């Protein structure tokens, strides 16, 4: 069965997306869960250990606190409270930390540092899986054992105001709640006012036991303008006033003889130097935890905060309120909270925490007896029993106290060891789903590689032996074998597998597909061998057909070298450096080709000069016109100019990990004192964008593009990034919703015009010029949309992208006759480099989610996700779309060029994706698996999905080699048919 290269490559990519999705489902572990009852109960708590024959006492300690107020400030970094600016940012809080009855800690949040996983960590005590980053967009109800459920079961009355993620996670748990959306990041005022407006009335009431407040304004300011914005201090002072109000109300209601209150100030995660979060840098994972209560000793000065895990708050709050600890919690009790309780109660609290952790360790670890923490806990429990025996005997000597302190220390060491062991496990991998996904992906990759000679041939068609594979005996034997393996694995697996939970129809389809792919692979391999070529009647490929130029060797070596570099965590963190190096090397190689064409071979004849770099997909009639004298100098200047642009763009945004904290040009431009310079730069960039893009547009699209770019500047002026000369510096900023929607109207108009021309060229007339015009107009609409989404300081990135594309297309790719494969690889390399020029990295924290709300009054999931993905991958998408436009506008290229380009794009994405899933499988117990390798895996998967979409666009744009000829023949036949019909009608009349 013969299929065009573009259809073949797109089909392979779509199936690879399915295989990678199956791998992701198995790779991201399911959090550790106890195999006991679904929720902990007070009746299940163990009794106090007691040595001897006396019956154990089932006494439970009294709750430590009557009321708890949790004030969670989203993206609150620890240096905002404990740092040098703490007294200026939050003076009252800092006073309580230094002189009040409080305990201060630096609570470390495990990546991913996004809101929903962190709320799950605070309420369940578990370390959520990395896949919760995706679930963060639409949080389902939390069903596992958690602190909120335990509080409701115990009759605690809870009130909540703030981020509506809590309401979605815990539906019907709060007796009163008012949620606000956490995704509309343009709003940092009303989102907090909506919480504070309830405080006065709520604090006066006595009908609640737990009050939870989740403030979002600080996080939104970080996303908009970063941690060093002038908006940070006013917002922190506002939060400080809120804490002061709550503390004053709790103190005024404190009654003698009753249990004390507890006020908790914490953050769910921190904030990176760019204002985002999601990664594992110190500013993102270090959050303040301040516990304020009259039950604690009064401080006499600033002490260095101890470091605890964020999940340690869960057992501390549970035992403080007299509740059972969540079964799946891996946290340990914070000992400072118990300082004023009796030694017996302290030991009892630690024993309950240790018993819960040891039960979880038993369920999750086969060799739990060998764990040091488990053995330490058993020793401490026995010592605790001996201490209890002395205590009941009435021993009050110092020996009892010293022995109790020793047991206390043993418990703390055991808890630390067990908590650490459980935290390292994170969860259990679904190896069966991972292996099945990997096998699918590698089968598809091998088919893609074996089809290379046919896919890149002049015909650009691949002959797939599908029918012979489906009718062969090995296909049915493989189906039986794989089905047997599936049954065997699913019946013998100790833990649940996602692949085993699928219906038999889907499983049989997967088994049949894998068997067919294996048979196709065998058939293609035998066809490539010399003996197979003779059997199939096809001559083997000669080496002269596949001779590689110096540029081909460079492109091949660079692509393979980049794939191999993904095995090292440091190279993944600093991947941008690899692409910068490859791009610079490519520019030097192109410069060498330019010199060779225009200077070294001047003495050669015209015909020989044109064959310096032969094109594999150009018509023989395609010859360049007479050389214009300045052309050679412009061609010679293009590679050095590209190098200069790339060097300047590297300084615009610091990315990666090692040097991300260093100041860059982007930070300098965004400072308030340089606003005028940023305004001039943005205006110049928008003008340059217009002149570079409008050349191929119709006059209607030119007017729409000009007005749209004016609207882009107006939008940036409205949100306060840039300014008009007549604006006052103290002018209040807005969300820019009207201005952004104004731009959207022109974007839709340009896209509609381009799509109309494209459909006419594809359906009504086979007009290549009309098709090229439609493609360029769609491209100009995409450029206008990206200019709206890019921050003002990133507009030079878009300018340089368009400028380099124009110069390379005019003076390099066309004049040096690079074939479609070489041009595609160059576009891919440029796209990857511009992904990092934007300021992106392999860290989730660099995803700018604020662009998902440009022009929106409220959070709408579909457009927000689309705009965020488009802005993040703007570099690769712009270069991929330019490739389509460039190949369509080249009149001298054969129809096979589209197929070659689509195939090369698929291959460039498939090789690193397949290699990377093998690497993360081998490194799944690596120290940096969650902080470095997992985010990169998500980026690779998303990039693979986008490339599949681009290849589908290639299919719609490609014309089959004979389509134009068929159209011409049809038209000529219709012309001949008209006189024949008229002659027949005349004869009929007569």
Question: Cα 109 to chain center, whole Å?
Answer: 18
The DSSP output letter for 296 is S
Burial class (CB in 10 A: 0-12, 13-18, 19+), 51: middle
The confidence band for 932, taking pLDDT boundaries of 50, 70 and 90, is: confident
Q: What is the mean pLDDT of residues 662-676?
A: 86
Q: Are the C-beta atoms of 706 and 743 separated by less than 8 Å?
A: no
Q: Which residues contact 115 (CB under 8 A, 6 or more apart)?
A: 74, 136, 163, 165, 182, 219, 268, 269
For residue 972, what are its two tokens?
A: 């000529």
Give the containing element (helix H, strand E) for 213.
strand 210-215
Give the count of beta carbons closer than 10 Å to the beta carbon of residue 273.
19
Cα distances from 316 to residues 37, 68, 292, 326, 351, in angstroms, run 22, 12, 14, 11, 13
| CA distance linking residue 250 with residue 81, whole number of Å | 21
When pLDDT is averaged across residues 298-322 and rounded to a whole number, the result is 90
Does pLDDT of 990 surpass 90?
no
pLDDT tens for each residue of 162-219: 988 898 889 889 999 998 876 565 678 888 999 999 999 999 999 999 999 999 999 8
Q: Match 């459980």 to its residue by tokens.
A: 422
CB atoms within 10 A of CB 973: 9
* pLDDT of amino acid 56: 53
Cα–Cα distance, 905 to 301 (Å, whole number): 63
DSSP 15-65: HHHHHHHHHHHHHSPEEP--SS-SS--GGGSPPPP--SSSPPP---PPPS-
Any idea how long the chain is?
990
- The per-residue pLDDT for 983 is 54
125, 177, 406, 716, 833 from 166: Cα distances, Å: 16, 10, 41, 33, 39
DSSP category for residue 427: E
pLDDT at 647 over 90: yes
Partners of 212 in beta bridges = 70, 160
Separation CA 333–CA 349 (nearest Å): 8
Q: Which is more confidently placed, 500 or 365?
A: 500
Asked if 740 and 715 touch (Cβ cutoff 8 Å), the reply is yes
Cβ-Cβ contacts under 8 Å for 512 (sequence gap 6 or more): 479
How large is the average pLDDT for residues 357-370? 80
At 495, list the tokens: 């833990």
| H/E run at residue 240 | helix 232-252
Tokens of 538: 């096809």
Q: What is the mean pLDDT of residues 801-828?
A: 92
Question: Any idea which of 338-342, 495-499, 508-512, 869-873 has the lowest mean pLDDT?
Answer: 495-499
For the segment 460-493, what is each residue's pLDDT rounded down to a tens digit?
888 888 888 888 898 999 999 999 999 988 888 6
Residue 979 has pLDDT above 60, yes or no: no
Q: What is the pLDDT of residue 425?
A: 67
Residue 285 burial (C-beta neighbours within 10 Å; 0-12, 13-18, 19+): buried
- Reference 437, options 498, 487, 483, 501; nearest CA is 498
The 8-class DSSP code of residue 813 comes to: I
Parallel, antiparallel, or unpaired for β 67-73 and 30-31?
unpaired
* Encoded tokens for 214: 């989740």
pLDDT at 308 over 90: yes
Average of pLDDT values for 440-449? 94
DSSP-derived letter for residue 539 is P
What SS3 class is residue 342?
coil
| Structure-model confidence comparison of residues 872 and 546, the more confident one | 872
Question: 534 pLDDT exceeds 60?
Answer: no
- H helix or E strand, kind and range, residue 595: helix 575-595
Share of the chain above pLDDT 90, in %: 45
Q: Report how far residue 881's alpha carbon sits from residue 781's, in angstroms, rounded to the nearest whole number.
A: 11
The string of pLDDT tens digits covering residues 27-66 is 886 655 554 456 677 667 777 887 654 555 556 778 899 9
In terms of C-beta density within 10 A (0-12 exposed, 13-18 middle, 19 or more buried), how is residue 58 classed?
Answer: exposed
- Tell me: cis bond preceding 556? Omega within 30 of 0 counts: no
Bridge partners of 162, per DSSP, are 179, 214
* β pairing state of 286-292 and 158-163: unpaired
N-to-C CA span, the chain: 54
Give the three-class secondary structure for 108. strand
Nearest residue to 264 (alpha-carbon basis) of 63, 69, 122, 119:
69
pLDDT of residue 969: 42
Beta bridge partners of 176: 159
SS3 assignment, position 111: coil
Report the alpha-carbon distance of residue 838 to residue 847 in Å, rounded: 10
| Sign of the CA dihedral running 968, 970, 973, 977 | negative
User: Which DSSP letter does residue 185 get?
Assistant: T
Rounding to the nearest 10 degrees, give the CA dihedral for residues 63, 308, 74, 27. Answer: -110
pLDDT at position 185, please?
Answer: 57
Q: Is 219 in contact with 75 (CB distance < 8 Å)?
A: yes
Q: Residue 112: is the preceding peptide bond cis (ω within 30°)?
A: yes
What mean pLDDT value characterizes the chain? 84
Measured from the Cβ of residue 599, the count of other Cβ atoms closer than 10 Å reads 10
Residue 924: partners with Cβ closer than 8 Å, 6 or more residues away? 27, 429
Q: Is the pLDDT of residue 775 over 80?
A: yes
CA atoms of 720 and 899, how far apart (whole Å): 46
Helix (H) or strand (E) holding 647: helix 629-652
Beta bridge partners of 247: none
| Beta strand residue intervals within 358-464, DSSP E | 427-428, 461-463
Whether the per-residue pLDDT at 708 is higher than 60: the answer is yes
- State pLDDT tens for residues 566-576: 988 889 989 99
Tell me whether strands 30-31 and 102-108 are parallel, antiparallel or unpaired: unpaired
Residue 301 has pLDDT above 60, yes or no: yes
If one compares 249 and 608, the residue with the highest pLDDT of the two is: 249
């Amino acid at each position: 069965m013969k299929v065009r290269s573009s259809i073949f490559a797109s089909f392979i990519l779509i199936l690879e997306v399915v295989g990678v999705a199956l791998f992701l489902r198995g790779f991201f572990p399911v959090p550790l869960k106890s195999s006991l009852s679904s929720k902990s109960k007070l009746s299940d708590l163990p009794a106090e250990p007691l040595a001897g024959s006396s019956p154990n006492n089932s006494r439970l300690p009294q709750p430590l606190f009557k009321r708890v107020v949790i004030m969670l400030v989203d993206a609150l970094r620890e240096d905002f409270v404990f740092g040098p600016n703490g007294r200026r940012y939050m003076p009252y809080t800092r006073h309580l930390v230094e002189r009040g009855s409080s305990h201060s800690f630096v609570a470390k949040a495990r990546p991913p540092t996004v809101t929903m996983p962190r709320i799950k960590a605070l309420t369940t005590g578990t370390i959520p899986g990395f896949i919760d980053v995706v679930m963060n967009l639409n949080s389902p109800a939390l069903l596992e054992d958690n602190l909120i459920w335990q509080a409701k079961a115990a009759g605690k009355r809870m009130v909540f105001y703030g981020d509506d993620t809590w309401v979605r996670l815990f539906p019907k748990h709060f007796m009163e709640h008012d949620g606000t959306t956490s995704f509309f990041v343009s709003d940092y005022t009303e989102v907090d006012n909506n919480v504070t407006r309830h405080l006065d009335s709520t604090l006066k009431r006595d009908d609640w036991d737990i009050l939870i407040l989740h403030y979002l304004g600080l996080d939104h300011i970080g996303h908009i303008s970063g941690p060093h914005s002038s908006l940070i201090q006013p917002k922190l002072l506002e939060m400080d006033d809120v804490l002061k109000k709550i503390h004053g109300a709790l103190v005024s209601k404190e009654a003698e003889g009753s249990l004390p209150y507890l006020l908790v100030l914490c953050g769910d995660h921190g904030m990176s130097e760019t204002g985002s979060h999601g990664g594992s840098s110190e500013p993102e994972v270090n959050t303040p935890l301040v516990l304020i209560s009259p039950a604690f000793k009064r401080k006499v000065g600033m002490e260095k905060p101890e470091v605890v895990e964020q999940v340690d708050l869960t057992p501390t709050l549970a035992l403080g309120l007299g509740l059972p600890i969540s079964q799946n919690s891996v946290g340990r009790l914070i000992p400072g909270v118990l300082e004023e309780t009796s030694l017996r109660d302290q030991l009892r609290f630690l024993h309950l925490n240790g018993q819960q952790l040891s039960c979880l360790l038993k369920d999750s670890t086969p060799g739990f007896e060998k764990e040091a923490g488990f053995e330490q806990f058993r020793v401490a429990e026995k010592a605790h029993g001996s201490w209890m025996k002395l205590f009941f005997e009435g021993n009050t000597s110092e020996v009892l106290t010293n022995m109790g302190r020793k047991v206390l220390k043993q418990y703390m060491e055991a808890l630390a060891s067990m908590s650490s062991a459980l935290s390292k496990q994170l969860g259990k991998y679904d190896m069966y789903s991972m292996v099945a996904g990997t096998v699918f992906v590698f089968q598809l990759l091998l088919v893609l590689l074996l089809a290379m000679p046919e896919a890149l041939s002049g015909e650009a068609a691949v002959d797939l032996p599908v029918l012979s594979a489906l009718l062969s005996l090995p296909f049915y034997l493989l189906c039986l074998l794989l089905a047997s393996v599936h049954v065997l694995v699913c019946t013998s697996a100790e833990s649940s597998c996602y692949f085993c939970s699928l219906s038999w129809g889907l499983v049989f389809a997967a088994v049949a597909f894998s068997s067919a792919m294996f048979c196709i692979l065998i058939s293609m391999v035998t066809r490539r061998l010399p003996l197979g070529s003779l059997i199939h009647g096809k001559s083997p490929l000669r080496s002269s057909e596949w001779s590689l130029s110096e540029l081909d060797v460079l492109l091949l070596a660079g692509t393979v070298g980049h794939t191999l570099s993904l095995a090292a965590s440091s190279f993944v963190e600093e991947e941008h450096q690899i692409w910068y190096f490859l791009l610079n090397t490519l520019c030097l190689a192109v410069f060498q080709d330019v010199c060779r064409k225009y200077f070294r071979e001047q003495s050669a004849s015209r015909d020989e000069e044109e064959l310096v770099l032969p094109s594999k997909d150009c018509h023989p009639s395609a010859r360049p016109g007479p050389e214009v004298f300045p052309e050679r100098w412009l061609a010679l200047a293009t590679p050095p100019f590209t190098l200069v642009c790339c060097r300047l763009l590297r300084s615009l945004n610091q990315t990666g990990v090692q040097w991300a904290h260093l100041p860059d040009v982007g930070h300098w431009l965004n400072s308030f004192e340089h606003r005028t310079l940023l305004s001039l730069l943005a205006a110049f960039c928008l003008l340059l964008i217009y002149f570079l893009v409008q050349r191929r547009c119709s006059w209607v699209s030119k007017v729409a593009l000009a007005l749209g770019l004016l609207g882009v500047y107006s939008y940036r002026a409205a949100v306060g990034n840039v300014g008009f000369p007549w604006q006052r510096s103290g002018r209040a900023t807005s969300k820019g919703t009207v201005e952004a929607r104004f731009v959207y109207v022109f974007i839709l108009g340009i896209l509609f015009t381009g799509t109309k021309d494209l459909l006419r060229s594809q359906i009504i007339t086979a007009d290549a010029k009309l098709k090229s015009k439609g493609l360029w107009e769609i491209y100009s609409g995409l450029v206008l949309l990206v200019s709206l989404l890019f921050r003002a300081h990133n507009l030079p990135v878009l300018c340089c992208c368009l400028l380099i594309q124009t110069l390379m297309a005019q003076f390099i790719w066309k004049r040096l006759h690079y074939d479609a494969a070489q041009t595609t690889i160059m576009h891919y390399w440029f796209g990857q480099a511009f992904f990092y020029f934007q300021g992106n990295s392999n860290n989730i924290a660099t995803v700018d989610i604020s662009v998902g709300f440009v022009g929106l009054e409220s959070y709408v999931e579909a457009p927000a996700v689309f705009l965020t993905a488009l802005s993040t991958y703007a570099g690769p998408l712009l270069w991929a779309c330019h490739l389509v436009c460039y190949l369509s506008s080249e009149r001298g290229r054969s129809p096979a060029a589209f197929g070659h380009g689509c195939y090369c794009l698929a291959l460039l994405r498939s090789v690193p994706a397949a290699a990377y899933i093998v690497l993360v499988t081998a490194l799944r117990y690596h120290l940096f698996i969650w902080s470095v390798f997992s985010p990169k895996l998500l980026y690779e998967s998303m990039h693979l999905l986008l490339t599949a979409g681009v290849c589908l666009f290639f299919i719609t744009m490609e014309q089959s080699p004979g389509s134009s000829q068929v159209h011409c023949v049809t038209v000529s036949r219709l012309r001949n048919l008209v006189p024949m019909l008229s002659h027949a009608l005349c004869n009929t009349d007569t």
